[in-house]
């Protein structure tokens, strides 16, 4: 049973995912954010995204997806000064996407795939220790790029994150229309300020 502090931290984490995915053009909108998962859900707490069917992804779309994956971790760091063990799955997903960008899709400085096909399917080619180090550096650079993107979003929109967290703690579940209301209110306020 989560404590009150756990519930706040979880709300921060999930609202982090929801806000970043709502504000980035190249990601799916958050369909639902909840602290009350059903008995058949894998996790009690989750953010559910609209499914977009696509047979291809651009570099920008993958970076945005990595940013969404890291956004719960960055939100925790912003609120508490440190991340929790609850970021494990997100960090694994972000790292996997970044590594595929470099090793599989040629979206780093390597202008080739580091994989080749054989009878077993895709097999990673052996690399020298120097090239392995370069791959690791590129993966780290992509993760830092996405992390910085999320940090910038929170720097400008921390009030939206706080409002979303407050609403989630009260309602326990936020739908996309709920999230839109929070975001649109802030956008109207900004338009009045600068008009």
CATH label of the domain that carries residue 136:
1.20.58.760
Active site residue 26: no
Domain extent for 26: 4-194
Instruction: Please indicate whether residue 120 or residue 176 has the higher confidence score (pLDDT).
Output: 176
pLDDT given for residue 121 in this prediction: 86
Give the pLDDT confidence score for residue 41 in this predicted structure. 46
pLDDT tens digits along 123-156: 888 899 999 999 999 999 999 999 999 999 999 8
CA distance 157 to 102: 31
pLDDT tens digits for range 41-88: 444 455 665 555 566 889 999 999 999 999 999 999 998 888 888 899
Which pLDDT value is given to residue 109?
83
Structural domain tally of the chain? Answer: 1
pLDDT tens for each residue of 166-194 = 999 999 999 999 999 998 865 665 455 54
**Residue 64 confidence (pLDDT):** 94
Q: Which of 146, 157, 131, 164 is nearest to 93 (CA)?
A: 146
For helices 59-80 and 129-171, what crossing angle results, to 10°?
60
pLDDT of residue 65: 93
- Of 7, 14, 26, 36, the active-site residue reads 14
- 36's CB contacts (< 8 A; 6+ apart) are 44, 172, 173
Amino acid 181: pLDDT = 92
Q: What is the pTM of this model?
A: 0.86
């Amino acid at each position: 049973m989560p404590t009150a502090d756990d519930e706040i931290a979880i709300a921060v984490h999930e609202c982090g995912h929801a806000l970043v995915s709502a504000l980035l053009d190249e990601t799916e909108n958050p369909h639902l954010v909840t602290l009350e998962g059903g008995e058949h859900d894998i996790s009690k707490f989750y953010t559910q995204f609209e499914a977009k069917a696509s047979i291809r992804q651009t570099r920008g779309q993958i970076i945005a997806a990595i940013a969404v994956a890291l956004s719960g971790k960055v939100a925790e760091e912003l609120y508490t000064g440190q991340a929790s063990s609850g970021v494990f799955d997100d960090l694994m997903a972000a790292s996997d996407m970044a590594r595929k960008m470099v090793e599989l899709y040629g979206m780093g400085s390597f202008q080739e795939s580091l994989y080749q096909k054989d009878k077993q399917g895709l097999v990673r080619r052996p690399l020298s220790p120097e090239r392995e180090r370069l791959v690791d550096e590129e993966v780290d650079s992509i993760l830092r790029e996405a992390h910085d993107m999320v940090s910038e979003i929170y720097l400008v929109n921390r009030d939206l994150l706080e409002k979303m967290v407050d609403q989630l703690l009260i309602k326990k579940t936020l739908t996309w229309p709920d999230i839109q209301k929070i975001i649109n209110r802030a956008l109207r306020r900004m338009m009045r300020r600068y008009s």
